[in-house]
Amino acid sequence: MVTMSDVASAAGVSVMTVSNVLNERGRVSAQTRLRVLEKVKETGYEIDLTARRLRAGRTDTVALVVPHFDHAYFGELAARLAPAFGAKGKHLVVEQSGASREGELAALSAARLRMYDGVLLSAVGLSFEDLDRISVRTPIVLLGEQRVPERFDHITMANAEGARLATARLLESGARRIAIVGGEEPSRAPSMASQRTRGWERAHVELGADADRGLVVQLRPHDAPTARDAIRKMLERDERVDAVFAVTDQVGIGVVAGLTDMGLRVPDDLQVIGFDDLALARHVAGGLSSVDPGSDWIAAQAVDILEARMAGAAFAPRHLVSPVRLVLRGTTKAAPAARR
């Protein structure tokens, strides 16, 4: 392996001069600089970027820690973040926590954090108390529904509001028995599913409709195959269901597949709305109606906050909630025109 000393000998200069040229510091004449760079090329010397970055106290690498690689939402989030950080000279590394407390703690361990300048963590397994005990210098931005200590920057979705919008739209279009597939009863630790169930229930209350708790279909896991099987079983015991709010688009895709298995037409027989507005969902059954959770906004905010923290900026912790909007496609009916 060619060393910096080899380059110095070939160029007839000191090792310090080679170092100054490669690190663009110190006073080196243009002629000497050119000679050193020529010898670097001739000898095939490779600059140890990792060592250079560690000496400078940075790695130019940012970590995104997600619960599961196979969840399409996190794949799309990574696809938004990678070029944004790349434009700022940072590399994005994606880690999987398994949605477990142990996996998330490991991602925030001192040994792991030395590899990164900053971390975006989708917190699922860590409790408020776990997060409150964490004391690190590496900038961390938390994503997700969990309640977090005030001192952390935190970005979350308007889960309940998005679910309320979707359910209200189904009610306004004439649906009366709306199942929520992937729903969950409220719990002490807020979750995506429980918050979206709260929004489903709130829409019923606001519009004077009956929110039948028997139409809350819990899923483990929240994926298309499980949802496909679950909707078939639900309709076998309750044929009066006329619409479905699916807590994610992946669940919604499974619901549409299950309805097709049963010979039912979407949206004529049952309407379906999902959540996440995934790219894949736009190609299902004429396009799956969905809640756009503000994914572009979330990615932009995450990059801006983490970049500022990594640059040493001091400001009050930011606790942000994304904007949401309803995107209507082929799995929902048009709402009746308002009476004059």
- Could you write out the DSSP letters of every residue in 23-75? TT-S---HHHHHHHHHHHHHHT----HHHHHHHTT--SEEEEEES-TT-HHHH
pLDDT at 110: 85
For residue 55, what pLDDT is reported?
A: 57
Sequence ranges of the chain with CATH classification 3.40.50.2300: 61-156+295-323, 159-293
pTM of the predicted model as reported, rounded to 2 decimal places: 0.82
Least confident of 38-47, 116-125, 293-302: 38-47
Residue 1 has pLDDT above 80, yes or no: no
User: What's the CATH number of domain 159-293, 3.30.70.1170, 3.40.50.2300, 3.40.50.300, 3.30.1330.40?
Assistant: 3.40.50.2300
| pLDDT tops 80 at residue 290 | yes
* Mean pLDDT, the chain, integer: 91
Q: Between β-strands 178-181 and 216-217, what pairing exists: parallel, antiparallel or unpaired?
A: parallel
Residue 106 predicted with pLDDT over 80? yes
Work out whether the CA dihedral 207, 213, 214, 218 comes out positive or negative: positive
* 275-285 average pLDDT score: 92
pLDDT of residue 128: 92
For the segment 137-177, what is each residue's pLDDT rounded down to a tens digit?
899 999 999 899 999 999 999 999 999 999 999 999 999 99
Smallest Cα–Cα separation from 234: which of 253, 260, 258? 258
> What pLDDT sits at residue 222?
92
Residue 198: is its pLDDT beyond 70? yes
Query: Given a cut of 50, is residue 339 above it in pLDDT?
Result: no
1 vs 326, more confident: 326
What percentage of the chain has pLDDT greater than the value 70? 95
Q: How far apart are CA 305 and CA 307, in angstroms?
A: 6
How far apart are alpha carbons 148 and 166 in whole angstroms?
27
CATH assignment of 61-156+295-323, among 1.10.3720.10, 3.40.50.2300, 3.40.50.300, 3.30.200.20: 3.40.50.2300
Question: Which strands sit side by side in the sheet containing 91-96, from one edge to the other?
Answer: 91-96, 61-66, 118-122, 140-143, 153-156, 319-321
